[in-house]
Structure 1
Amino acid sequence: MEFCNVQNNIKLVDLSATFCVGMPKYKAKWYPEFSYKEIAPQALVNNEWKRRFTVVSMFAHNGTHVETSDHVFKDGYTLGKTNLEEFIAHPVIIDLTDISNGVSIEAEDILKRIENRKIEERSIILLKTGYDDRAWGKDYFWDKSPWLDAEAAKVVANLKPRIVGIDFQTEKPNEKNFIVHKTLASAGCIICEYLFNLDKINEEFLFMALPIKMPELESAPVRAVGLLIK
């Protein structure tokens, strides 16, 4: 479901990945897959009954999710230290859809797109390339993404956003030092990864990415949506 009209004056756009068995996951062997199984109380195994119970095995970084600085620094700044209202706002959308697969997004790419724009501190900034939409589930997904280079990450961090949402991989493919994560987290920024359908919203929409209420964790899946009230 990409979008629906909740009422005549409300439009809702789904910006989230679909959770399903076999969904894309980072290619490292240690990275857990999403899975689920149905269970039944032992005493009722042979009984005819209509109810269903499902156990879900979900990694906090599967699919569309948010992550705090505790993810990269183990600094204790978990989701429980955030406020729910931080995850809702009219976004600042930076259009990077002309950026090709497999190339870096440089500082100048960001600067020329925000020239003459006043971006308030503590904004939600969405970086839109369309990569997740065109490449999710493809063989090349993990190897051909555009990425923020170190200087571009500094430009974004200097805008002092509260959330940066992206529809491409945060780091250069196979980067192991978490350069972009560390730069954004050091600026007090929450990262929202694996967004979709950013081409279907604009800055008149409310962006919402509400994490599952797991206050002790560094990350949690979200159902990210764009909401337009006409």
Structure 2
Amino acid sequence: MARIVDLSIPISDDLPRWKVEVNKEFPEFCHQFTAVTMSVHTTTHMDSPLHYVEGGKAIDEIPLEMTMGEASVVDLSYKGENEAITPDDLDKNGGHIQQGDFILLRTDWPDKMWGDMDFWKKSPYLTEEAAAWLAEQKPKAVGYDFPQDYAIRLIEDGRPDKADFVVHNIFLPKGILNIEYLTNLKGIKGKRVKFMAIPLKLKGVEGSPVRAVAVEE
């Protein structure tokens, strides 16, 4: 029997970074009717190329084949605060990656720091060289349980330049999707697994929350 592993962070109105407004009504024709206002980049979500590429594919244009398939889990859980993830780390731990995979980078960072702004300010991050290494593997997407670009920690002090987000700038123009803010990657037992992260079909939009799951046979 297949084992399903939930890799998604819940969306709620008490998140440390994103403003989420939840308005509940109790009209006569049903028990509850809720409106939610939030960024499409809230908690576990997918970025489409339009996020960084003018004229790039919007999230509703992403083929379903790009949202599910084989994944490789790369264990980087030894990485600590503000540590760079380098090509050497990926060489040592990513030998099982295959072309066309989803590459899931596991640091267990949500277990260490979720719920605090230090999740963004002190996280491990990918170097530009590591992002180039990953792009050379020709994955469908790369998923992370940590903020992958060093530049995100600079936002509170004034918005950094678009060019500073080196991972976004390497992947999205190549059609490699970002799946951000995964959690519970430690719940996957093997190095290879079936994976899916299906976005909402939001027309003309550059991203969407996803329910990300792994399926182990």
Q: TM-score range by the shorter chain?
A: 0.7 to 0.9
| 2:103 is the counterpart of 1:131 | no
CA RMSD of aligned residues (A): 1.8
Query: Residue 93 of structure 1 contacts residue 203 of structure 1 at CA under 8 Å; is this kept in 2?
Result: yes
Match of 1:75 among 55, 70, 73: 55
List runs of 5+ in structure 2 lacking aligned partners: none
Query: Residue 158 of structure 1 contacts residue 187 of structure 1 at CA under 8 Å; is this kept in 2?
Result: no
Tell me by how many angstroms 1:134 deviates.
2.0
Q: Which residue of 2 aligns with 1:97?
A: 77
The correspondence of residues 195-214 of structure 1 with structure 2, limited to 5 A, is 195-201=182-188, 202-214=190-202
The correspondence of residues 1-230 of structure 1 with structure 2, limited to 5 A, is 9-25=1-17, 33-39=19-25, 51-115=31-95, 117=96, 119-172=97-150, 173-174=153-154, 176=160, 177-201=164-188, 202-229=190-217
- Number of residue-to-residue matches in the alignment: 207
Cα gap change, 1:180/1:196 in structure 2, threshold over 3 Å: closer, same or farther?
same
Measure the CA separation in 2 of the matches of 1:162 and 1:65. 15
Tell me by how many angstroms 1:113 deviates.
2.0
Measure the CA separation in 2 of the matches of 1:207 and 1:24. 27
Tell me by how many angstroms 1:204 deviates.
4.7
Cα gap change, 1:80/1:139 in structure 2, threshold over 3 Å: closer, same or farther?
closer
Tell me by how many angstroms 1:139 deviates.
4.3
By relative contact order (CA 8 Å, sep 6+), the higher-ranking structure is 2
Moved over 4 A (4+): none
Task: Point out the structure with the larger helix share.
Answer: 2
Structure 1 vs Structure 2: percent identity of aligned residues?
32
List runs of 5+ in structure 1 lacking aligned partners: 1-8, 26-31
Measure the CA separation in 2 of the matches of 1:55 and 1:159. 41
Query: Residue 212 of structure 1 contacts residue 220 of structure 1 at CA under 8 Å; is this kept in 2?
Result: yes
Measure the CA separation in 2 of the matches of 1:182 and 1:77. 15
Secondary structure of 2:172's counterpart equals: helix
TM, length-normalised to structure 2: 0.88
Tell me by how many angstroms 1:187 deviates.
2.4
Secondary structure of 1:186's counterpart equals: helix
Measure the CA separation in 2 of the matches of 1:72 and 1:104. 23
Measure the CA separation in 2 of the matches of 1:169 and 1:97. 14
